[in-house]
Amino acid sequence: MSDELILVNAQNRAIGRAEKRQVHEAGLLHRAFSIFLIDPAGRILLQQRHPAKYHSGGLWTNSCCGHPHPGEQTVRAAQRRLGEELGASCPLRFGFLTRYDTRFANGLIENEIVYVYFGLAPADITPNPEEISALELVSLAELKAEVTTSPEAYSFWLNYYIVHHLEEMKRGIEEVLKRAEVSVSSNSAEVYLERSYCSS
């Protein structure tokens, strides 16, 4: 698979392509996506990035994220990445569009226009051990509190979403649950967690 990303202008129009490492070294504006998977209790599935990731290794972040390749539709890229990172597949619903940029301690720069999607976490998830160290389910309220007290434990972009897009995240979660018509009782949620994410 190509490691080239889609370069865009401030209006999100594609203007070229460049290799992933070059994009992040030069801080070129590019297209990306983030995914929030939601369990039947309305909790968000977080992943801990593998320590060997090219930046933000070991930090907790949203369920999945990545970049579309040139010629690849963003939502299809998001589905592809769900399979690569989580061994999972589910319908995704667009939530909101945002832009951020930041420089990491190792000198790499994220300068992205991001499509944020929401979906109901499937029962079968098999995280890729080369990508993900651990998984955790938290409510949005719990996540907001944790990000507020310990922002250094979370990726820059997850902090950014909580600070700048909390209402959009609430709506995204509510829409997933409404469309799925699921029960949000804590009982069913614990069974779901045990079946889906806990391994012996």
Of 65, 85, 90, 110, which one is the catalytic site residue? 65
Quote the CA–CA distance of 46 and 136 in Å, as a whole number.
Answer: 5
Helix, strand, coil fractions of the chain, as percent rounded to 5: 35, 30, 35
Question: How would DSSP label each residue in 125-178?
Answer: ----TTTEEEEEEE-HHHHHHHHHH-GGGB-HHHHHHHHH-HHHHHHHHHHHHH
Q: How many CB atoms lie within 10 A of CB 186?
A: 11
Of 4, 85, 110, 112, which one is the catalytic site residue? 112
Range of the domain at 26: 4-197
Element (H, E) at 99: strand 93-103
Quote the CA–CA distance of 42 and 58 in Å, as a whole number.
Answer: 25
Mean pLDDT over residues 161-181, rounded?
Answer: 94
- Residue of 129, 125, 150 lying closest to 137 (CA atoms): 125
Q: What percent of the chain has pLDDT over 70?
A: 90
Burial of 11-22, coded b for 16+ CB within 10 Å and e otherwise, reads eeeeeeebeeee
Q: Is 65 a catalytic residue?
A: yes
Please, what sign has the CA dihedral across residues 57, 61, 63, 67?
negative
Burial of 111-125, coded b for 16+ CB within 10 Å and e otherwise, reads bbbbbbbbbbbeeeb
Quote the CA–CA distance of 184 and 69 in Å, as a whole number.
Answer: 37
Structure confidence by residue, pLDDT tens digits, 113-128 = 999 999 999 988 999 9
Is the model's pLDDT at 135 over the cut of 50?
Answer: yes
- Name the domain count of the chain: 1
Find the CATH number of the domain harbouring 115: 3.90.79.10
Structure confidence by residue, pLDDT tens digits, 21-62 = 999 999 999 999 999 999 999 999 999 998 777 777 789 999
Is the model's pLDDT at 164 over the cut of 50?
Answer: yes
Q: Is 198 a catalytic residue?
A: no
Average pLDDT, the chain: 89
